[in-house]
């Protein structure tokens, strides 16, 4: 093996990874000293001189000259006088001899081992460099290229060819990736597993949405507007509380843009995730009202100790407050950090009828559809008929009808 080729290849690697010259020389020297120790038992009396730029390697062995009849002639650090004089004829006992040791003297097996050791050190350094690079970037956005799509994860490569993992659990349900496609995500976790760095990415993290806002909204990037909190049901709905440090700038308007121009690209990136942008305030009651948007709150009772709030709304606002599958109220609760209970405003409905669709959070849609089929659209129109009549005219079971009537009666008690 040509030591020059080995040294030059390592120097190229070190240069590409911005490894400083002292570290590079130290690694190379340790590899060759390990080879020396395996052959001679020690490297104490050896000097290793390496020039990474030229690929030159010199190894010098220094030994003390002893008399030919001395008991020390078997010591690795000693050399008999007769052998020393073959190197230079005027040497005397007690002097030191420095002689160059050529790579070929170590034999093919030791040299091959040294090569493998250096390759392994390069791999170890690559892992360490990758770990150090990413450990301080958790929460930062990265754009990578899809290298491979597997059942439980997608392998993304960064600009340096490092492989990163985007697990299925960290993907939006509507995500579909093809090889070579560019993908945005945030660095979610950085950890060492059995000596190898594991970089986990995420597209479902609230931090990802926050980073997208920073990229797309100049006022956020410049620090004029701050993102106070983000809560998400990835791919479905999100609420983002923003605050302006300049009274002249409307934070919600700045984030949404004219006709939604600014937020459109973010929505598209997230698979048409519905994003509510809310003007943050320290007034908890006002923040809760804004968080429940698009529903309009009539009144509320806040229990700060229990972190619970009872919200009262007009009947036609209840389903808006709850949202599809309870998403709106769930996200609003996360945004304000409280449990939200929704109640119909009794004062508003004593003398009013209530549309059946307003009970979709308590009565299944298919049941409401059955009632619609026989012309019953409001609560009072259902209550005007008795149980037997409803069973006869619909495909509903008696127990189901009783449950529906019980729910509707409570509205008018």
Summarised one tens digit per residue, pLDDT across range 316-357 is: 888 888 888 889 999 999 999 999 998 877 554 445 778 888
Cα-Cα-Cα-Cα dihedral of 213, 218, 222, 223, to 10°? -50
What's the confidence (pLDDT) of residue 255? 93
Range of the domain at 141: 136-204
When the pLDDT of each residue in the chain is averaged and rounded to a whole number, the result is 87
Residue 96 dihedral angles phi and psi, to the nearest 5° = -110, 145
What's the confidence (pLDDT) of residue 351? 53
Rounded Cα gap, residues 384 and 372, in angstroms: 15
What's the confidence (pLDDT) of residue 3? 66
Residues 22, 69, single domain; the answer is: yes
What's the confidence (pLDDT) of residue 73? 75
Which of 6-15, 31-40, 206-215, 366-375 has the lowest average pLDDT?
6-15
Q: Listing from the earlier edge strand, what are the strands of the sheet with 339-344?
A: 297-303, 308-313, 339-344
Q: Indicate if the pLDDT at residue 259 is higher than 50.
A: yes
Query: What is the DSSP secondary structure assignment for residue 378, as one 8-state letter?
Result: B
Answer for the pair 202, 234: CB distance below 8 angstroms, yes or no: no
Tokens of 201: 């990415």
Residues 59, 123, single domain; the answer is: yes
Which of 109-123, 128-142, 196-210, 340-354 has the lowest average pLDDT?
340-354
Rounded Cα gap, residues 170 and 182, in angstroms: 17
Other beta carbons within 10 Å of 14 = 20
Whether 345 is covered by a domain: the verdict is no
Answer for the pair 367, 400: CB distance below 8 angstroms, yes or no: yes
Q: How far apart are the first and last CA of the chain?
A: 94
- As a whole number, mean pLDDT of residues 97-105 equals 84
Whether 338 is covered by a domain: the verdict is no
What's the confidence (pLDDT) of residue 379? 87
Whether 346 is covered by a domain: the verdict is no
CATH number for the domain harbouring residue 381: 1.10.150
Rounded Cα gap, residues 370 and 10, in angstroms: 76
What's the confidence (pLDDT) of residue 395? 81
Residues 122, 148, single domain; the answer is: no
Summarised one tens digit per residue, pLDDT across range 46-71 is: 998 888 777 778 889 898 888 888 87
Q: Indicate if the pLDDT at residue 381 is higher than 60.
A: yes
- Cα three-residue angle 261-267-270, rounded to 5 degrees: 155
- Of 96 and 242, the structure prediction assigns the larger pLDDT to 242
What's the confidence (pLDDT) of residue 183? 95
* Structural domain count, the chain: 3
Residue 401 dihedral angles phi and psi, to the nearest 5° = -60, -45
Give the DSSP H/E element, type plus range, for residue 393.
Answer: helix 387-393
Paired strand residues for 80: 66
Rounded Cα gap, residues 1 and 12, in angstroms: 18
Residues 70, 152, single domain; the answer is: no
Residues 107, 149, single domain; the answer is: no
What's the confidence (pLDDT) of residue 289? 93
Answer for the pair 242, 255: CB distance below 8 angstroms, yes or no: yes
Give which of 42, 37, 52 is closest to 113, Cα–Cα. 37
Summarised one tens digit per residue, pLDDT across range 359-375 is: 888 898 899 988 888 77
Give which of 143, 131, 317, 120 is closest to 215, Cα–Cα. 143
Rounded Cα gap, residues 309 and 41, in angstroms: 77
The sign of the dihedral angle between the CA atoms of 370, 376, 382, 387 is negative
What's the confidence (pLDDT) of residue 213? 95
CATH number for the domain harbouring residue 178: 2.40.50.140
Give the DSSP H/E element, type plus range, for residue 114.
Answer: helix 107-135
Whether 257 is covered by a domain: the verdict is no
What's the confidence (pLDDT) of residue 25? 81
Is pTM beyond 0.75? Reply is no
């Amino acid at each position: 093996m040509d030591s020059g080729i080995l040294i030059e290849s390592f120097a190229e690697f070190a240069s590409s990874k911005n490894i400083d010259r002292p570290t590079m020389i130290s690694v190379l020297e340790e590899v060759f000293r390990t080879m020396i120790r395996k052959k001679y038992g020690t490297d104490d009396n050896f000097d290793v001189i390496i020039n990474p730029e030229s690929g030159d390697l010199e190894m010098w062995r220094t030994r003390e000259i002893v008399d030919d009849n001395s008991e020390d002639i078997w010591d690795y650090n000693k050399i008999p006088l007769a052998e020393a004089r073959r190197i230079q004829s005027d040497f005397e006992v007690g002097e030191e001899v420095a002689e160059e040791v050529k790579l070929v003297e170590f034999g093919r097996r030791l040299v091959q081992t040294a090569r493998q050791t250096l390759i392994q050190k390069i791999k170890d350094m690559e892992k360490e460099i990758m770990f150090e690079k990413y450990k301080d970037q958790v929460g930062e956005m990265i754009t990578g290229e899809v290298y491979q799509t597997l059942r439980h994860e997608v392998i993304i490569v960064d600009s340096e060819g490092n492989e990163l993992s985007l697990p299925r659990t960290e993907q939006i349900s509507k995500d579909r990736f093809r090889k070579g496609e560019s993908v945005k995500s945030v660095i979610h976790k950085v950890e060492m597993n059995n000596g190898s760095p594991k970089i986990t990415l995420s597209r479902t993290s609230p931090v990802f949405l926050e980073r997208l806002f920073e990229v797309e909204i100049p006022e956020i990037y410049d620090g004029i507007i701050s993102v106070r909190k983000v809560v998400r049901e990835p791919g479905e709905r999100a609420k983002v509380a923003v605050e302006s440090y300049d009274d002249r700038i409307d934070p919600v308007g700045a984030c949404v843009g004219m006709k939604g121009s600014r937020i459109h690209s973010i929505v598209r990136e997230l698979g048409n995730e519905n994003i509510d942008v809310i003007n943050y305030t320290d007034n908890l009651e006002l923040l809760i009202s804004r968080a429940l948007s698009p529903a309009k709150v009539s009144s509320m009772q806040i229990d700060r100790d229990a972190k619970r709030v009872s919200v009262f709304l007009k009947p036609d606002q209840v389903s808006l407050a709850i949202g599809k599958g309870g998403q709106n109220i769930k996200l609003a609760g996360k945004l304000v950090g409280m449990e939200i209970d929704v109640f119909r405003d009794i004062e508003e409905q004593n003398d009013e009828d209530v549309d059946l669709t307003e009970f979709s959070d308590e009565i299944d849609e298919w049941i409401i559809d059955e009632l619609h089929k026989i012309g019953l659209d409001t609560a009072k129109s259902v209550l005007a008929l008795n149980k037997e009549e409803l069973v006869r005219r619909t495909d509903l079971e008696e127990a189901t009808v009783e449950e529906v009537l019980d729910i509707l009666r409570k509205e008018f008690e």
